[in-house]
Amino acid sequence: MTHSPYLVAIAPVQVQEYAAAVTDGGGKVEQLGSDVFGLVWTEHHAPDRLAEVLERNPQIKWVQLPFAGVENFHSVFEWSASRGRSIVFTSAKGAYREPVAEHALMLALALARAIPERVKANTWGSKFAASLFDSNVIIVGGGGIAEELIRLLTPFRARISVVRNHVRPMPGTAAVQDLSALDVLLPKADFVFLAAALTVETKNLFDVERFCLMKPSAYLINVARGGIVNSADLEFALKNGLIAGAGVDVTNPEPLPDGHPLWTTPNLIITPHTADTPEICLGLLSTRIKANVQALVSGNALDGQVNLELGY
**What are the per-10-residue average pLDDT scores of the chain (312 residues)?**
72 97 97 95 92 96 94 94 94 95 98 94 94 98 97 98 96 97 98 96 98 98 98 98 98 97 97 95 97 95 93 86
Query: Domain total for the chain?
Result: 2
pTM of the entire predicted model: 0.91
Same domain membership, residue 49 and residue 164: no
Same domain membership, residue 102 and residue 58: no
Name, in order, each residue with C-beta under 8 angstroms of 309's C-beta and a sequence gap of 6 or more.
Answer: none
Same domain membership, residue 134 and residue 265: yes
Quote the CA–CA distance of 144 and 124 in Å, as a whole number: 41
Q: Tell me how many degrees the CA angle 59-60-63 measures, rounded to the nearest 5.
A: 175
Same domain membership, residue 205 and residue 114: yes
Same domain membership, residue 252 and residue 293: no
pLDDT of the residue at 5: 64
In a domain, 308, yes or no: no
In a domain, 312, yes or no: no
Same domain membership, residue 143 and residue 68: no
In a domain, 82, yes or no: yes
Within 10 A of 305 (CB to CB), how many other CB atoms are there? 15
pLDDT of the residue at 46: 84
For residue 134, the domain's CATH number is: 3.40.50.720
Same domain membership, residue 248 and residue 101: yes
Same domain membership, residue 209 and residue 74: no
In a domain, 20, yes or no: yes
Of 234, 254, 270, the residue that ends a domain is 270
Written as one string, the DSSP assignment of 5-67 is S-EEEEESS--HHHHHHHHHTT-EE--SSTT--EEEE--SS-HHHHHHHHHH-TT--EEE-SS
The distance of Cα 132 from the centroid of its chain, to the nearest Å, equals 22
pLDDT of the residue at 311: 83
Name, in order, each residue with C-beta under 8 angstroms of 99's C-beta and a sequence gap of 6 or more.
Answer: 275, 276, 280, 284
Question: Residue 259 to residues 231, 255, 262: CA-CA distances in angstroms?
Answer: 14, 12, 8
- Helix-then-strand count for the chain, H and E: 10, 12
Question: Residue 192 to residues 25, 26, 252: CA-CA distances in angstroms?
Answer: 39, 42, 18
Q: Which neighbouring-strand residues pair with 220?
A: 192, 246
In a domain, 15, yes or no: yes
3-state secondary structure of 275: coil
Same domain membership, residue 258 and residue 120: yes
- Per DSSP, helices labelled H in 61-202 are 74-82, 97-112, 115-118, 144-153, 182-185
pLDDT of the residue at 3: 46
In a domain, 67, yes or no: yes
Structural domain boundaries enclosing 32: 7-94+278-298
In a domain, 123, yes or no: yes
Same domain membership, residue 86 and residue 45: yes
Same domain membership, residue 286 and residue 230: no
Same domain membership, residue 258 and residue 128: yes
Inter-residue contact 66 to 89 (CB < 8 Å): no
In a domain, 253, yes or no: yes
> Left (φ > 0), alpha (ψ -120 to 50) or beta: where does 67 sit?
beta
